[in-house]
Amino acid sequence: MDLPFLNAYLDSIGAPSFRKGCNFAAAASKILPATADSISPFSIGVQVDQFLRFKSRVLELQAQGKKYAKYIPAKDYFGKALYMFDIGQNDLAGAFYSKTFDQIVAQIPTILAEFEAAIKTLHDQEARNFWIHNTGPLGCLAQNVAKFGTDPSKLDEQGCVSGHNEAAKLFNLQLHALCKKLQGQYKDSHITYVDIFTIKYNLIANYSRYGFDQPIMACCGYGGPPLNYDSRIACGKTKDLNGTTVTAKACSDSSEYVNWDGIHYTEAANQYVASQILTGKYSDPPFSDKMPFLLSLKF
């Protein structure tokens, strides 16, 4: 799309510029509000609050004249901007450690009610162009296969944990329905639902066709085949395990792997995913002919 990478809101002190946008995403964040045992406090509600603070501060600085113009977005950018979301996977993945499948599925409407509230707040603040990813096949992540896939009967034909992927599919069905509802509710907006699950699962199922050698095994990790993942030692870390000092090192060529560290995708895999998103085939509505505003984003 020929747009720049965005600086993080939490890196605002000394950040070069927010003129073309701001990134409010945070590692391990969820849609639901954080609890005492959450890894990240930055739920979507907090991220929206950060956006409100960002917008307020931008308007304050704009009122002081043009001296900050090269650092902050113009006032009309808030209505023209593309608001992108890829969140919800951590709500599901984290729940499997303490809840049953049925309990997790029963919680999906509550999760999506929180997401809908976030979209409404942003719409009230002039947001009109929404790009909403569904969640990927979390059952195919080495982290989840290592923890929940020790019983082969719980794995599907690709070696992914079936229960995790089924929960993701049910979440995605309800998210899609919510997006259809929002499309009808906000006639003044472009709301695009993007089927990330299908793109990623297709990549894992047909990895060799797309030039990859390893669909699930982590490039950067410890333990070797088949998963090269050990929850006790993260990618790049050195630790004493059972009296031996070991390091979770990267593989020699990450472009051969779909998965980077057991949780995240490699740059090569993400490039494939992005190329598929931009075909428009996996979007509702297909943005190639229904969302011409994309062509005018290069401000």
Assess whether pLDDT exceeds 50 at residue 217: yes
Q: What pTM value is reported for the model? A: 0.93
What pLDDT, on a 0 to 100 scale, did the predictor assign at position 1?
A: 66
Assess whether pLDDT exceeds 90 at residue 299: no
Place of tokens 């982590």: 218
Assess whether pLDDT exceeds 50 at residue 85: yes
Burial zone of 119 (CB within 10 Å; 0-12 exposed, 13-18 middle, 19+ buried): buried
Residue 1 falls within a domain, yes or no? Answer: no
What pLDDT, on a 0 to 100 scale, did the predictor assign at position 289?
A: 59
Residue 32 falls within a domain, yes or no? Answer: yes
What pLDDT, on a 0 to 100 scale, did the predictor assign at position 37?
A: 87
Which range (1-5, 97-101, 266-270, 291-295) has the least confidence? 291-295
Residue 3 falls within a domain, yes or no? Answer: no
Same domain, 31 and 53: yes
Assess whether pLDDT exceeds 70 at residue 297: no
Question: In what helix (H) or strand (E) does residue 181 lie, and over which residues does it extend?
Answer: helix 162-185
Same domain, 38 and 118: yes
Residue 2 falls within a domain, yes or no? Answer: no
Instruction: Give the domain extent around 54.
Output: 9-195+282-296
Confidence of residue 291 (pLDDT cuts 50, 70, 90): very low
* DSSP per-residue letters across 83-123: EEE---HHHHHHHTTTS-HHHHHHHHHHHHHHHHHHHHHHH
Residue of 98, 72, 89, 101 lying closest to 25 (CA atoms): 89
Query: Mean per-residue pLDDT for 22-27?
Result: 95
Same domain, 216 and 166: no
Assess whether pLDDT exceeds 70 at residue 292: no
Number of neighbours of residue 274 by Cβ within 10 angstroms: 11
What pLDDT, on a 0 to 100 scale, did the predictor assign at position 14?
A: 75
Same domain, 164 and 260: no
What pLDDT, on a 0 to 100 scale, did the predictor assign at position 221?
A: 98
What pLDDT, on a 0 to 100 scale, did the predictor assign at position 287?
A: 65
Assess whether pLDDT exceeds 90 at residue 257: yes
Same domain, 183 and 223: no
The residue with greater pLDDT, 3 or 185, is: 185
Q: Say how many domains are in the chain.
A: 2
Residue 95 falls within a domain, yes or no? Answer: yes
Same domain, 42 and 99: yes
Which range (112-116, 145-149, 275-279) has the least confidence? 275-279
Residue 13 falls within a domain, yes or no? Answer: yes
Listed in order, strand segments (DSSP E) in 186-285 are 190-194, 214-218, 238-241, 244-247, 257-259, 283-284
Same domain, 129 and 234: no
Assess whether pLDDT exceeds 80 at residue 133: yes
Across the chain, what does the average pLDDT equal? 93
Same domain, 42 and 120: yes
Which range (120-134, 186-200, 271-285) has the least confidence? 271-285
Q: What percent of the chain has pLDDT over 90?
A: 86
Same domain, 170 and 103: yes
Residue 200 falls within a domain, yes or no? Answer: no
In this structure, what token pair is assigned to residue 4?
């720049």
Same domain, 233 and 173: no
Residue 4 falls within a domain, yes or no? Answer: no
Same domain, 179 and 57: yes
Same domain, 224 and 144: no
